Amino acid sequence: MIKSRLCDLVGIKYPIIQAGMGPFGTNKLCAASSNAGVLGLISSSGIASGGTRKEIFDYFCRTGGADPENDHETILRTIFQTTLDLTRQSQGIFGVNVMVSAEMKEVAEVVIKAMLKARAEDPEMKKRFKVLVTSAGDPLPWTDVIKKTDLVWMHVMPSVKAALRCKKAGVDVIVASGHEGGFHTAWEPVHSMILLPAVVDAVSDEKTLVVGAGGFCDGKTLAAALTLGADGAQMGTRFLATEESDFHPMWKEGVVAAGDRGTLVARGFVGPARWLKTPRSEEHARNTLLKSPGVFLGVPDDYTTMDMSLIEFEHESINAVYEGNKEKALLAAGESAQRVNDMPKVNDMVQGIVKEAEDILRSVQTKFLA
């Protein structure tokens, strides 16, 4: 059976992380992933959608058993408890993904505070709700808060420079996210084949693990990540298109139907974002070229310098998904969407990925080494 340092550190069966993806949330998906023996992640970004995407906010709450009328901390605590209950039989391990960009700082503080309080009050929660994944921002300002705890801290980042900053911050698992990834991508397009081994060489040691993200979706790519020196792989788009995924059927079906060259990059909420290629996303890309050209030039902008009509367009388009309006919808996904052609149950998918990776790794020596 495949096993890595990630399995030992976190307490999971297989070296796979189900990515925390928004905006619909991953409440049901997290439980299914955790029960399947991988690290399930709750996406917390949906908690911030109440002001601009009320229907999505309500859906995010209700899929976790929470009442949208409650305050944010109560909603989050309810979602955490629901996940604990749904994974009790398997004793699965789970965590939460928190965006720590400047735009999401206040929300991140609420989520992390709720997590720490929930764990402090319940020994079982402390034992199994043990992973905090930060992303889309600088990890260093969070060191004092997180390193006082026994949490396993992971951070998603896109460069060797950022990996070294994670090392300085004391991050336990650095998730090297290549430009193939879906939704939030880096300002500079460094892809996994270059990024992952470079990050492994720069920071991997007895205290710091590295996980690959961006383009990983099956046994072949999991085997590749391990061969490149990683301790595992994070998969988002592949988990999005599963039966238990919380995402709208239109979104899941869009991933399955994507096909060759099925994505493009345009402006997103916190920077560049990868979308499924549709007339709507192509319009968004053209508008991005005119109003936020740094997305294509590697020059960051922010809400003080950019045309906010791009963000308003995104809000309208994400709301359109919930409304079932295919013409106006924007659907985020990674390049691996072109390799996703079914919508299985999570456990069946995980078992298939692991078996394929095991078969490949066993065959390598026979095929290529004398």
Instruction: Tell me: pLDDT of 265 over 80.
Output: yes
Digit-coded pLDDT (tens) for 213-239: 999 999 999 999 999 999 999 999 999
Q: How far is CA 153 from CA 120, 146, 206, in A?
A: 17, 7, 15
What is the Cα 271 distance to its own chain's centre?
A: 15
Q: What is the pLDDT of residue 314?
A: 93
Digit-coded pLDDT (tens) for 124-152: 999 999 999 999 889 999 999 999 999 99
d(CA 1, CA 123): 30
Confidence of residue 251 (pLDDT cuts 50, 70, 90): very high
Least confident range from 90-94, 323-327, 349-353: namely 323-327
Helices 72-86 and 27-35: angle between axes, nearest 10 degrees: 30
Q: What is the pLDDT of residue 19?
A: 97
Residue with tokens 């988002």: 236
Q: Where are the domains of the chain?
A: 5-248+346-368, 253-335
Q: Evaluate whether 31 touches 85 at the Cβ level (below 8 Å).
A: no
Sign, Cα dihedral of 298, 18, 275, 76: negative
> Average model confidence (pLDDT) for the chain?
94
Q: What is the CATH number of domain 5-248+346-368?
A: 3.20.20.70
Least confident range from 103-112, 143-152, 356-365: namely 103-112
Digit-coded pLDDT (tens) for 85-97: 999 999 999 999 9
- What is the percentage of the chain residues whose pLDDT exceeds 90? 85
Residue 20: CB atoms within 10 A of its CB come to 25
Least confident range from 58-72, 232-246, 345-359: namely 58-72
Q: In what order do the strands lie in the sheet with 173-177?
A: 16-18, 233-235, 209-213, 173-177, 152-157, 129-135, 94-99, 40-43
d(CA 93, CA 100): 23
- Angle, CA 174 vertex, CA 203 and CA 230 arms, to 5°: 75
The 3-state DSSP class for residue 224 equals helix
Q: What is the pLDDT of residue 65?
A: 94
Q: What is the pLDDT of residue 322?
A: 85
Q: What is the pLDDT of residue 370?
A: 66
Any residues with CB less than 8 A from the CB of 261 and at least 6 apart, and which?
277, 338
pTM: 0.95
Instruction: Tell me: pLDDT of 45 over 90.
Output: no
Confidence of residue 366 (pLDDT cuts 50, 70, 90): confident
d(CA 2, CA 16): 10
Instruction: Tell me: pLDDT of 101 over 70.
Output: yes
Least confident range from 117-121, 161-165, 200-204, 361-365: namely 361-365
